[in-house]
Amino acid sequence: MDFRVASSGSGGTAHLEIDGSPVTGGIALPDTGGWNTWATLTATGVTLPAGAHVLRVVFETDGMNVDWIRFAN
């Protein structure tokens, strides 16, 4: 799973939840040097169950922009 993020600060952390349960540990989000300076981060080992679910990206700190999230199979 890839995240495209930007930050104009010290960065932060986020994690992914499915149906309210964490499916990743904390993902370190870097200071990219500006709100429109993007970096792509990859979270590996994420398995998404089949069917309809609530997927949530939880930002544990403020100050991040998210451009997109991509899931690969």
Q: Which DSSP string corresponds to 20-43?
A: TEE-S--EEE---SEEEEEEEEE-
Higher pLDDT, 5 or 48: 5
19/46 Cα distance (integer angstroms): 14
> Measuring CA to CA, which residue among 20, 29, 71, 14 is closest to residue 48?
71
pLDDT, tens digit (0-9, with 9 covering 90-100), for 12-40: 888 889 999 998 888 888 899 999 999 99
pLDDT at 28: 87
Q: Are 57 and 14 in contact (CB under 8 A)?
A: yes
In terms of pTM, does the model score above 0.85? Answer: no
Three-state SS at 66:
strand
